[in-house]
């Protein structure tokens, strides 16, 4: 699938007892294929909700999420699971690596779900570890790696599937300034090289220099797109 991702009038309301929270309020945005976006906004402004709804991890209360021609909000759970495996990569602030698996095995995980054969999985995962500069750490467990190295593994895992769009939710939130700059360069470089769409949530407005567009969100509403 080689297409833009469109959010049309997306609203997400959480109910907490009697209270309703509009985590997203009539959001319209387009993520163009192959472009890099920064998503900024205060804590609680709806950034993670925007990623999760776009990735089909949560259902919108109203509105449409359209990948090319495909409506994410209309998919059932089974279809959604396949869709995510095929088209979406995720990078988390806390890396979310499986502690008992090696770096190589962690990177192989998305390919297991897709039924790729063992030999091919290992070869593809090794190529990705090489691409993120961790060729010599393939047999290390996450606890034997630094924070920056763990995030490199999770970047390799996000890209190994050839997803069309990668979402990174505060990927550098736990990293020092030097490592942050390295990780931004790595993620953006890989997105450019493989022509993938990349959406990065960040508090750090200096990082918008890496992006083609910066989307600012406040109280669940898009404040600006530049
Ligand atoms: P951000 O990622 O920008 O910090 P979130 O998208 O996590 O913000 O949250 C947006 C708003 O929605 C916040 O007010 C938050 O408290 C609320 N919220 C998020 N997830 C839930 C949930 N599962 N149930 C109820 N409220 C939620
Ligand atoms: Mg968040």
**Inter-residue contact 37 to 211 (CB < 8 Å):** yes
Residues with CB under 5 A from ligand 2 (ion): 47-48
116 is a domain residue: yes
Residue 28: predicted pLDDT: 98
Mean per-residue pLDDT, 127-132: 96
21 is a domain residue: no
Residue 196: predicted pLDDT: 96
Assign residue 166 the CATH number of its domain: 3.40.50.300
Whose Cα sits closest to atom 20 in ligand 1? 49
Whether residue 16 has its Cβ less than 6 Å from ligand 1: yes
**Inter-residue contact 132 to 194 (CB < 8 Å):** no
Task: Tell me how many domains the chain contains.
Answer: 1
Residue 113: predicted pLDDT: 84
User: How far is ligand 2, taken at its centre, from the CA of residue 53, in Å?
Assistant: 12
- Whole-model pTM: value is 0.95
14 is a domain residue: no
Q: Which domain holds residue 140?
A: 34-59+82-225
Tens digit of pLDDT for each residue in 135-176?
A: 999 999 999 999 999 999 999 999 999 999 999 999 999 999
User: How far is ligand 2, taken at its centre, from the CA of residue 167, in Å?
Assistant: 12
Token pair of 87 as six digits: 């088209």
Helix (H), strand (E), coil (C) string for 137-194: HCCCCHHHCCHHHHHHHHHHHHHCCCCCEEEEECCCCCCCHHHHHHHHHHHHHHHHHC
3-state helix, strand, coil in the chain (%, to 5): 40, 30, 30
Residue 2: predicted pLDDT: 58
């Amino acid at each position: 699938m080689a297409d833009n991702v469109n959010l049309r009038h997306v609203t997400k309301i959480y109910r907490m007892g009697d209270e309703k929270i509009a985590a997203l309020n009539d959001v319209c945005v387009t993520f163009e294929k192959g472009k890099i976006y920064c998503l900024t906004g205060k804590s609680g402004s709806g950034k993670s909700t925007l990623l999760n709804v776009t990735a089909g991890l949560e259902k919108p209360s109203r509105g449409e999420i359209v990948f090319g021609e495909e409506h994410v909000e209309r998919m059932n759970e089974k279809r959604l699971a396949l869709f995510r495996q095929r088209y979406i990569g995720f990078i988390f602030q806390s890396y979310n690596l499986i502690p008992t698996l090696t770096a190589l095995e962690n990177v192989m995980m998305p390919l297991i779900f897709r039924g790729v054969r063992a030999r091919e999985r290992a070869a593809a995962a090794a190529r990705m570890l090489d691409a993120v500069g961790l060729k010599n750490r393939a047999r290390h467990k996450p606890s034997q790696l630094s924070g920056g190295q763990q995030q490199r593994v999770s970047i390799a895992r996000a890209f190994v599937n050839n997803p069309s769009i990668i979402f990174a939710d505060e990927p550098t939130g736990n990293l020092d300034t030097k490592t942050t700059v390295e990780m931004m360069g790595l993620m953006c470089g890989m997105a450019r090289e493989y022509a993938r769409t990349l959406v990065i949530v960040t508090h750090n407005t200096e990082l918008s220099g890496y992006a083609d567009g910066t989307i600012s969100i406040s109280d669940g509403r898009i404040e600006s797109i530049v």
